[in-house]
A and B are shown apart, each in its own frame.
Chain A
Amino acid sequence: AQSVTQLDSQVPVFEEAPVELRCNYSSSVSVYLFWYVQYPNQGLQLLLKYLSGSTLVESINGFEAEFNKSQTSFHLRKPSVHISDTAEYFCAVSDWGGGSQGNLIFGKGTKLSVKP
C-alpha cells in the first residue's frame, strides 16, 4: 500500500529565508508525485507535479521539488519565502495506470508560517 509522510507538521520561518518542506513516500510501483497548497477555508491548489522526465520540477512562484527515487523523497524548497507563502502544504502520491483507481494519497500536511 502507498503512504506519504510529511515529517514536519509546522515550519516557522522568517521572510526572505529559504525553506524546505520534507516529504517521503512508500510505494511498490511507479508513482506520480504532487505538492498542493491550501489557504484557510479553501480547496487545494496544485503547486507542482512530477510525472516523468527531469527529477527537478518547478512552479511559477519560485518553489521547486526534486524527485529522489533512491530515498523515496519529494522535498519542496524555496530559496526565499514571502509572507504570502503562509499556507498549508500537502504532498500526495498516485499510482495511476495499469488499472489503478488513480486516487491521491496525501500526507498530513505541513503548515508554513512566514514571519516578517
Chain B
Amino acid sequence: DTGVSQDPRHKITKRGQNVTFRCDPISEHNRLYWYRQTLGQGPEFLTYFQNEAQLEKSRLLSDRFSAERPKGSFSTLEIQRTEQGDSAMYLCASSPPPTQYFGPGTRLTVL
C-alpha cells in the first residue's frame, strides 16, 4: 500500500491556459473522489468515479472542468481556460467507502 499519489504537487500557470492533474489511487480501491480546497475552507466535493464510471458530474464548478478515469485506474482532472479564481488546492481521495484516503494534493496558482 503506497498511498494515494498526485502529480504535480505545484502548478503555476497563466490565466487562459489549460492544466491537467493526475491522481493515482490505492490500487485495490474502486472509488475515487476529487475535491477542491480554497484558503480558509474545508475541501469541497467536485466529482467521483466508481471504477471507470463517473457517477457525479453536476458538482464540477463549470464546464471548464472535466475528469476522466480510463480503465478504472488513475484519474485526471483538467481545467480549461484557467481563471484566477481557480487558484486552490485540488485533492484526490480513494476509497473503500465510507472511509476516504487523501493524496498530498496539487496546489494550483493562476497568475
Contact = CB atoms under 8 A, between A and B. Distances in A.
Interface of A: 4, 32, 34, 36, 41-46, 49, 51, 90, 92, 94, 96-97, 101-109
A51 B95 CA distance: 14
B107 interface: yes
Contact of A90 (B42, B97, B99, B101): B42
Contacts of A107: 42
Contacts of A101: 45, 48, 55-56
Contacts of B102: 36, 43-46
B91 interface: yes
A109 B41 CA distance: 7
Interface of B: 4, 6, 31, 33, 35, 40-45, 48, 55-56, 91, 93, 95, 97-105, 107
Contacts, number: 68
Contact of B99 (A34, A43, A45, A106): A34
13 contacts: A42-B104, A42-B105, A43-B91, A46-B102, A51-B99, A90-B43, A97-B98, A101-B55, A102-B95, A103-B45, A104-B43, A109-B40, A109-B42
A4 B56 CA distance: 21
Chain B interface, >50% SS class: strand
A46 B98 contact: no
Given A41-B107, A42-B104, A103-B48, A51 B98 contact: yes
